[in-house]
Chain A
Amino acid sequence: METLGNLVFGLGVALSWQNLLYCLIGCILGTVVGVLPGIGPVATVAMLLPFTFHLGPAPALIMLAGIYYGAQYGGSTTAILINIPGETSSVVTTIDGHQMARRGRAGPALGIAAIGSFAAGCIATLVIAYFAPLLAEVALKFSPAEYFSLMVFGLIAAVVLARGSLIKAIAMVCLGILLGLVGTDVNSGTVRFAFGQPELSDGIGFVAIAMAFFGIADVVINLERSDKQEIFTSSIGSVLPTLDDLRQSFWAIMRGTGLGSVLGILPGGGALLASFAAYMVEKKVAKPPRMFGEGDIRGVAAPESANNAGAQTSFIPMLTLGIPSNPTMALMIGALTIQGIAPGPQVMTERPELFWGLIASMWVGNLMLLILNLPMVGLWIRLLAVPYRLLFPAIFVFCCIGVYTVDGKIFDVYAIVVLSALAYVLLKLDCEPAPLILGFILGPLMEENLRRALMIAFGDVTVFVTRPISAAFLIASVALLVVIALPTLRAKREAAMQE
């Protein structure tokens, strides 16, 4: 009952004119970047951070959240119509979604993607409302030792679930941590790794890092590939699925939502992992398994529900523990920090209007997205006609102005040049950028909690294994690494990533 009361309170916050407006802006922008293949939610959230400075924390977060889950709606449109995922989390939707389009059922495919996402969004909102307070209550009891071990666990889990080589991902985390340590050490006042540059004493801007890896370097890599895309817009027809379609996909949506909600909470989880897992599960359990890969509507319904559910529940660790599970959440933490709010379990009690307003806004936002995506899908498809050669200079402009206005320092623009070059080389060598961003955000926090934990324990390093919760996190981290290093499981993981 208390949860219900809190949701009603949050709805009151979310339904203010200002918050409704920013929710709508976030949803529209999210849909746009979701539809456009060359640009994702991470870069967009980074580019929009400067816009949020003069807003309060609630509208800022509501808008940025709308971009993330809005992108999950938009991504399916591109996946279905042109067989190219608008977002990475829509990769599996291309399999059955595009086949449906080729059979003249593009309309119902788009329809079920939007309806599934909406159902998933509503359920995931409830999941957050129930589980986030529980987790926050536990987290309030954490001491620095638990926090340190939790961050270790979070980072390990994040790389285990990431694509590509495990060792390289851990190395990227380390590199991220080191880059995060550049600047003044809050404890001793020592300026580290600044090469005498006064601008570096504040550290490297996380906006600059995010833009370099997910904006500029990403554009450069895209420009290297010059594949032409064929747009498939001839006949969309009615977007309303038939009653039979709905009956068929109901359980697929429910399974996708359940799986997505769980996977979203895990560190390293979120929309991408959720959609892959949901598709694989659906292929195994759906009856009859007749035509997956040939345009089965359940192959659209399950992953699209899952990615939206996962996108939303990944807010739980961010809001309650202050630990990002993916790069977008890392940016959300940055946005909170800029607003002068330290993310963590105290946010819920100290800023209830922010916490519950954000959760309730997800409901409102999902309703907006349903309206934006079902009747107006034709409008978004026209966006696909914008060629990339006109899109990428705009990305440059927003990145450059954005990174400059964060602090009004020209130095940050120069920094983005250097960081983009580094990002390009690393991307070219198949080093995933996501672990680096997570390490960058968590690095200084890890150091601070390590220092505090050791100070309280008078330099006794066993504190991390004698406190039960801390020990559990560390054992879980080691177990994860061992499990993933076992040859049989590694083969399975690689097969799953291939699929």
Chain B
Amino acid sequence: MHIRSPKDFWSGLIFVALGAAFVALALQYRLGDLHRIGPGLFPTLIGSLLVGLGLIVAGRALVLVGPSIERIHFRPLLVSLAAILLFALALQWLGVVAAIAVLVLVGAYASRDVRIWQVLALAAFLIVFSVAIFVWLLGLPLPLWPSG
């Protein structure tokens, strides 16, 4: 067995895995009959279709040659996700001002090209802008500061 088209092979496997997971869960719900279809029927059908398509995609990848996967750069991905995670935590406990500050200051490091003064200025600008628009103008219920 030789993988000739890595992109297709791995996407096929992902489809099979996700489809199978959905089918496994859907089978726990009532299937019903065709007159009154239950909550399990449609997801079971679509999930099975996804598994089938995934198998075809992965199977073809063993025969047909396709492009290899471009290098995965972990820095942009992990830093971005971490920044958003920190935003969620900060918003919950510290309010929106701190949350935006954390998001911008951490998130900026997703790029290799960081100029600290520009990032600080950007954070300040985005805090003022967001608070002005979202909180004062639109009156959205965002806690500004730590709730004590």
Contacts and interface: CB of A to CB of B under 8 A. Distances in A.
B63 interface: no
Contacts of A446: 42
B73 A224 contact: yes
Nearest to B47: A178
A417 interface: yes
B25 A177 contact: no
A110 interface: no
A429 B92 contact: no
Interface string A408-441: 1010011011001100111011110000000000
Contact of A174 (B50, B111, B115): B50
Interface string B131-148: 000100011111000000
Interface residues of B, number: 73
B57 A397 contact: no
A458 B14 contact: no
A324 to B, nearest CB: 18
Interface string B16-35: 00110010011001100111
Contact of A413 (B30, B54, B84, B115): B84
Interface in B31-85: 33-39, 42-43, 46-47, 49-50, 53-54, 56-57, 60, 67, 69-73, 76-77, 80-81, 83-85
Nearest to B111: A389
A285 interface: no
A181 interface: yes
B114 interface: yes
A251 interface: no
A390 B122 contact: yes
A175 interface: yes
Nearest to B71: A224
A174 B126 contact: no
A192 B122 CA distance: 42
Contacts of B111: 223, 388-389, 392
Central interface residue in A174, A187, A424, by most chain B CB within 10 Å: A174
A417 B108 contact: no
Interface string A160-190: 0000010110110011011001000101101
Say whether chain B's binding surface is mostly helix, strand, loop, or mixed.
helix
A231 interface: no
A446 B111 CA distance: 41
Given A390-B122, A410-B88, A417-B81, A455 B36 contact: yes
A214 B144 CA distance: 28
Contacts of A170: 53
A213 interface: no
B77 to A, nearest CB: 5
B119 interface: yes
A405 B88 contact: no
B50 A223 contact: no
B39 A50 contact: no
B13 to A, nearest CB: 10
B11 A193 contact: no
B49 to A, nearest CB: 5
A431 B30 CA distance: 32
Nearest to A405: B140
Given A54-B138, A410-B92, A165 B57 contact: yes
A396 B83 contact: yes
B112 interface: yes
A168 B84 CA distance: 29
A483 interface: no
B125 to A, nearest CB: 9
A401 B91 CA distance: 10
A216 B110 CA distance: 11
A131 B56 CA distance: 40
Q: B7, B18, B80 — which one has the most chain A CB atoms within 10 A of its CB?
A: B80
Contact of A185 (B35, B39, B47, B103): B39
Nearest to A408: B141
A404 B19 CA distance: 29
Given A223-B76, A396-B80, A167 B42 contact: no
B10 A171 contact: no
B11 A429 contact: yes
Contact of B108 (A393, A401, A458): A393
Contacts of A393: 103-104, 107-108, 119, 122-123, 126
Interface in A433-491: 443, 446-447, 450-451, 454-455, 458-461
Nearest to B54: A171
8 contacts: A224-B73, A389-B115, A410-B92, A413-B88, A417-B81, A420-B80, A450-B37, A454-B36
Interface of A: 50-51, 54, 165, 167-168, 170-171, 174-175, 177-178, 181, 185, 187-188, 190, 192-193, 216, 219-220, 223-224, 226, 387-390, 392-394, 396-397, 400-401, 404-405, 408, 410, 413-414, 416-417, 420-421, 424-426, 428-431, 443, 446-447, 450-451, 454-455, 458-461
Interface of B: 7-8, 10-11, 14-15, 18-19, 22, 25-26, 29-30, 33-39, 42-43, 46-47, 49-50, 53-54, 56-57, 60, 67, 69-73, 76-77, 80-81, 83-85, 87-88, 91-92, 96, 99-100, 103-104, 107-108, 110-115, 118-119, 122-123, 126, 130, 134, 138-142
Closest 5 CB pairs of A and B: A459-B35, A459-B34, A223-B76, A413-B88, A174-B50
